[in-house]
Structure 1
Amino acid sequence: MSCEGESRQLQLLFSWGANSYGQLGLGSSNDELLPQPVTHFPDNKRVITCITGGGGHSAAVTDAGELYVCGQNKDGQLGLNHTDNVPHFSFCSALRSIRVSKVSCGWDFTLILTDNGQVLSCGSNAFSQLGIPQVKSCSVPEPVQTLHEKVTDVAAGLRHTLALTESGQIYQWGLGMASHAKRFSCGNPISPFFTAKEPCQIPGLANIRGKKVIAGSYHSVALTDLGELYVWGSNKHGQLLQKEPFGLQPQKIKSHFFLEEMIQSAWSGWTHLIAQTETGKVFTWGRSDYGQLGRKSVQDESDREEVLLQEYCTEKSLKPPACIQCLTGAQQHMKSVILQGITFHLQPISM
């Protein structure tokens, strides 16, 4: 790729892990235990600005606003107007005239955020996760029509969806969390956003201004402009840092868990979370039996409030090497850019 200034850089993409559907983008369906260079990426002159993955598919956005996809496609989640699996990154030609700013993958669906704040979705709609109630699935990205305000962020859970608007309002739709919510509601009505087939504003967050939305398998997270985290949904592995097994309404995580520091950014795997504070400290909590918290804990985090989450990294040791473009959680592991069962690593090379 060409960069502004006197130096030029090339960006190499590596992937490894599960690859049953070609989600590593290597041109095959063989699992890989060691990092392998992705040589089939169509345009190696572009910088990858966003990369993510779902149950068996992967998606990447370049600095030109182009979307590339690979992997499982039985529900049309690649948006290529067919349902064949694709073992190498392919350009989503349906978006040729649209500039993409972000992509987020659920289990079998894909969310696409455009530069002008429009949300598109494709793939399975079995749980109404696309926000397009009249279809069972989409093999070409279709707009979510009922979001009437510019959207600045999206997040896909296992089978539910979050969106953040320009005014800081947060919406959820999809039935992925509905059965869990009903189970723990003791027969009481549950909030409409758990069963919404189209974007539904979350009442408990109406008075806050969102900065970022994050989704796990059955939990949701909102980061506010004040550096606070609100969480709701499943607490099976201590993701919510509270006593209840399921959060039926958004609850703010108490600041003492983060040494009274504001949260700068946050990420989530299927069942664990990561938060970075304003001074660069990183905290991890939730499921830990596969070492996904990056520290010695081998049991899920306790939800006892008197137990302070141990600091994982100091500001000095956290500063990422130049090769790491983003930090993302995955199902059971965490390294570089990590997806559902696979890992991607971006390596810039100065020339």
Structure 2
Amino acid sequence: MAGRQLAIWGCLGGGRERQVLEAPACTTPSESGREQEVGICAGGFGFAITRSGDGRILVRTRATEDRDGGANFFGAPSNALSLPDSEAASCCSAGYSHVVLATDKGKLYEWRASDALVHCVSAALPKVPVTMVAAGEHHSLALAGGAVWAWGAGAVGQLGQGSRISQAPSPLLVAGFGARPDESGSTAAEPPVVTEIAAGALHSALITDDGKLFTFGWGLYGQCGHDSTEDVLSPCCVADLHGVPVRQVAAGLWHTACLTLDGAVYTWGGNADGQLGTGLPTGASTPQLVEALPFEEDVVKISCGARHTVALTGGGKVFSWGWNKYGQLGHPACPAHQLPEEVRGLGIVQDVACGWWHTLLQYSGCEPDGATGTK
């Protein structure tokens, strides 16, 4: 196939019949040039999200059967999220049952699978554009001006407010980050500036401009990385990374992964399905180096599903590990992979992102090999 294409493997979940794509399945191209998909946002339970060239967010909910009855193509978008005509999405993220997005007008919106409607969360954050959003199971984060805002469920500390707020309907500032000018307009004693955020099911993570990683929220499986299984109510720096700056972080249901500036991947948290990629039968409450990734491969992105993890290299290769009941790793049927394994036959992959039980990728060079589906 010429140009960039989208493919998926795994299961979207939802419904009585769970449609499983054990090998990468190509997406059905949209007939409308306006809906040409240029970016992926992965998805949650029962849906996947992509972004069009004109800033629209497209929802895909199921695969499409071919003439032989095989689910070989991931169907065309069922709908686009309805935004005001004057606004386009600048960034978006998919959680378990909702999508959070920011527009070029500075507004925050949420789409909820429960009613399939778009709700305005905030007319605007104070005088700064939103540059990144992250969606968890029932909470969301937004990054604006180096500061972080959080809303939604917060009973285990995932909003970073220092307390167990059951629900925050509108964004709350996570204290201690982002330049805050005083009344004279100068910036005295500026706090750390946040450059990236991530939301797991019930925990959150952020990276500051000096490469430090902070986590907060549910800690039962050690997913906050502080050598403890206690909940963390306020952002706390992950100390056991040997002083190496972090450039990217991803979070799943029970685990967390980060990519350091020198290209190393660390994981921690629950490991019942091998999602840490360490080859060990137990989880970890402090960061563990994923040593099984080929040393010569330069990892440029990581992504976490509910219980699986994916790494993308600079050369366009994809490695995956963890839970594989629904084929979300892109490997032949097996319940789980304890160590990273390359997903072959993909062409050159430009981007990859994990949904709850599925993986979505953008590729070029050739059509995925053996793209067949099973039910």
1:15 pairs with one of 59, 63, 66 = 59
Shift in Å, 1:331: 0.9
In the alignment, which residue of structure 2 is the partner of 1:330? 355
3-state DSSP of counterpart to 1:154: strand
Shift in Å, 1:299: 2.1
In the alignment, which residue of structure 2 is the partner of 1:152? 195
TM-score (norm 1): 0.72
Label 1:199 to 1:121 Cα distance change in 2 as closer, same or farther (>3 A): same
Q: Is the 8 A contact 1:113 1:120 kept in 2?
A: yes
In the alignment, which residue of structure 1 is the partner of 2:153? 124
Quote the Cα distance in structure 1 between the aligned partners of 2:159 and 2:202: 9
Label 1:227 to 1:194 Cα distance change in 2 as closer, same or farther (>3 A): farther
TM-score (norm 2): 0.68
Label 1:65 to 1:295 Cα distance change in 2 as closer, same or farther (>3 A): farther
1:143 pairs with one of 173, 181, 193 = 173
Q: Give the partner amino acid of 2:285.
A: L
Bigger share in helix: 1
> Is the aligned partner of 1:288 residue 2:324?
yes
Quote the Cα distance in structure 1 between the aligned partners of 2:238 and 2:108: 30
Quote the Cα distance in structure 1 between the aligned partners of 2:275 and 2:326: 15
Consecutive unaligned residues of structure 1, counting only runs of 5 or more, are 1-8, 19-32, 74-84, 183-189, 304-308, 321-326, 338-351
In the alignment, which residue of structure 2 is the partner of 1:253? 290
Shift in Å, 1:230: 0.8
Shift in Å, 1:274: 1.1
3-state DSSP of counterpart to 1:95: coil
Q: Give the partner amino acid of 1:113.
A: L
Quote the Cα distance in structure 1 between the aligned partners of 2:267 and 2:310: 13
Shift in Å, 1:93: 1.1
Quote the Cα distance in structure 1 between the aligned partners of 2:168 and 2:294: 41
Quote the Cα distance in structure 1 between the aligned partners of 2:309 and 2:236: 24
3-state DSSP of counterpart to 1:267: strand
Shift in Å, 1:318: 2.2
3-state DSSP of counterpart to 1:59: strand
Quote the Cα distance in structure 2 between the aligned partners of 1:206 and 1:39: 43
Q: Is the 8 A contact 1:264 1:276 kept in 2?
A: yes
Q: Is the 8 A contact 1:172 1:193 kept in 2?
A: no
Instruction: Give CA deviations for 1:222-243 in whole Å, capped at 9, x if unaligned.
Output: 1111111011001111111221
> Is the aligned partner of 1:216 residue 2:258?
no
2:139 pairs with one of 71, 95, 109 = 109
Shift in Å, 1:285: 1.2
Quote the Cα distance in structure 2 between the aligned partners of 1:71 and 1:203: 36
Higher deviation after alignment, 199-208 or 213-222: 199-208
Shift in Å, 1:313: 4.2
In the alignment, which residue of structure 1 is the partner of 2:5? none
3-state DSSP of counterpart to 1:266: strand
Q: Give the partner amino acid of 1:161.
A: S
In the alignment, which residue of structure 2 is the partner of 1:61? 102
Q: Give the partner amino acid of 2:282.
A: P
Q: Is the 8 A contact 2:61 2:78 kept in 1?
A: no
Quote the Cα distance in structure 2 between the aligned partners of 1:39 and 1:172: 31
Q: Give the partner amino acid of 2:101.
A: A
Quote the Cα distance in structure 1 between the aligned partners of 2:342 and 2:228: 37
Consecutive unaligned residues of structure 2, counting only runs of 5 or more, are 1-52, 63-74, 178-190, 363-375
Shift in Å, 1:65: 4.3
Quote the Cα distance in structure 2 between the aligned partners of 1:194 and 1:315: 41
Matches within 5 A, 1:195-234: 195-234=231-270
Q: Is the 8 A contact 1:122 1:137 kept in 2?
A: yes
**Which 4+ residue blocks in structure 1 deviate beyond 4 angstroms?**
313-316
Label 1:319 to 1:211 Cα distance change in 2 as closer, same or farther (>3 A): closer
> Is the aligned partner of 1:318 residue 2:362?
no
Shift in Å, 1:12: 4.8
Higher relative contact order (CA 8 A, sep 6+): 2
Q: Give the partner amino acid of 2:356.
A: Q
3-state DSSP of counterpart to 1:146: coil
Count residues with an aligned counterpart: 282
Quote the Cα distance in structure 1 between the aligned partners of 2:194 and 2:58: 31
RMSD, aligned α-carbons: 2.9
Quote the Cα distance in structure 1 between the aligned partners of 2:139 and 2:151: 6
In the alignment, which residue of structure 2 is the partner of 1:264? 300
Quote the Cα distance in structure 1 between the aligned partners of 2:355 and 2:314: 23
Instruction: Give CA deviations for 1:135-160 in whole Å, capped at 9, x if unaligned.
Output: 33211101111343100111111111
Q: Give the partner amino acid of 1:174.
A: G
1:42 pairs with one of 84, 91, 98 = 84
Bigger share in strand: 2
> Is the aligned partner of 1:100 residue 2:130?
yes
3-state DSSP of counterpart to 1:204: coil
